[in-house]
Amino acid sequence: MKIKIGVVGATGEVGRTMVKVLEERNHEIDDLRLFASEKSRGVKIPFRGKEIEVETLTEESMKEGFDFLLFSAGKDVSKHFSPIASAHGTTVIDNSSAFRMDPKIPLVVPGVNSHVLKEYRGIIANPNCSTIQLVMALKPIHDLYMLKRVVVTTMQAVSGSGHKGIEELEMEMKGTGSPKVYPKRIAYNCIPQIGPIFDDGFSEEEMKMFNETRKIMECDCTVEATTVRVPVFYGHSESVLAEFKGKVDVKEVLRAWEATPYLKVWKDDYPTPIDVKGSDLSHIGRPRVSQTGALMFWNVADNVRVGAATNAVRILEYFIRT
C-alpha cells in the first residue's frame, strides 16, 4: 500500500524522530513531505538515502489531501492547521495538547485503546509522553484486576521540552547560560514542576496525567502524580504504585507483562534512561507488592520515541493494517 505522508514540525526534536521512525518501518511511502516554519525552509532531512527539503507550512499545503499528516509543531499550529487538513480528507495525528481532552477526538495509545479508531477518520490526539509509557504498563494489569488508584512520580528528561531543553542543560553543564526554559537551573538539579502550577497545587503535567490516563483507560481511577524535570537528556523514568480492585499476584502480573509485545520486563536487573535510548518499548523493573497489597514498579521509556514519535507512527500503522 503506497501512501502520501507529511510531517509538520519536521525540524524539531520529535519531528526529526518521526521521520527516522518512518524510515525504519517497512512501508511503501509514495510521497513524504516535510513542513516547518518559514525560518526552516530549505533545511534538508535525510530519508532512505535521499535528502528531503523542508517546505514552509501554509494553509494551501494542508489542502492537498494527504493520507496522513503527523503534527509536532505545538498546540497553536495544530489548532489552526489540523482542521484544514482534516476537512480535505487527511487523517491527522497530532502530538500537541490541542485536542487531547476533546470528547469528540480519540486519544490513542495503540495496543491499549486502538478500538476507538474503528471506522474513525479525522484528527487523532497523541497523548502526553509520561502518560503513554504509564498506560502501556498499566493496561495488561488493569485487564486482570481493574485499576482503582495510581500514585506516580516521574523523572522526566529535558528532551521533553524539545531541543531548547537539551541546549539549556548542555550550556549549564558547561558553566554558561542561565535558566530560560525552566524556572530554575536544571544542571545537577531536580525541578518538581513541569508546566504552570494551578491554584490547587498541581502542575499542568500532573493534571495531564490524571485526565489522559482516565480517558485512555476508560476507567474511573484516581491518578495522583508528581512530575519532576531531571538533568537527563533522553528517557523518562516513573516510580509507580498502583492499587486494584482485585488481589495482585506478582507471578500473574509478570506473565501478563511478558505476553504484551510493547513491554520489556527486566527480571534480574532494572532499566535506566541510558539503557532504553532508541527503544520502542516501555521497560519495567523492580515489580513488588506493598504491605497494603498495591503493585509497585519502576517504568522507563525513550520519551521522544515511545512518548511521541513512535506512538504517532503506530497510530498510522493501525489504519494501514486494518
**Those residues with Cβ within 8 angstroms of residue 249's Cβ, 6 or more apart along the chain or in another chain:** none
What cell does 34 get? 516535510
* Contact by Cβ (8 Å): 282, 105: no
530560560: which residue's cell? 180
Count how many Cα atoms sit within 13 Å of the Cα of residue 281 in the half-sphere of its side chain: 16
Active-site residue flag, 129: yes
Catalytic residue among 80, 88, 219, 236: 236
Catalytic residue among 27, 129, 190, 283: 129
Active-site residue flag, 190: no
Separation of alpha carbons 84 and 133, rounded Å? 30
**Those residues with Cβ within 8 angstroms of residue 130's Cβ, 6 or more apart along the chain or in another chain:** 154, 156, 160, 205, 208, 209, 225, 227, 236, 238, 303, 307
DSSP β-bridge partners for residue 150: 223, 242
- The amino acid at 220: D
Separation of alpha carbons 182 and 161, rounded Å? 9
Q: State the SS3 of 110-164.
A: CCCCHHHHCCCCCEEECCCHHHHHHHHHHHHHHHHHCEEEEEEEEEECHHHHCHH
Give catalytic residues, as residue numbers: 129, 236
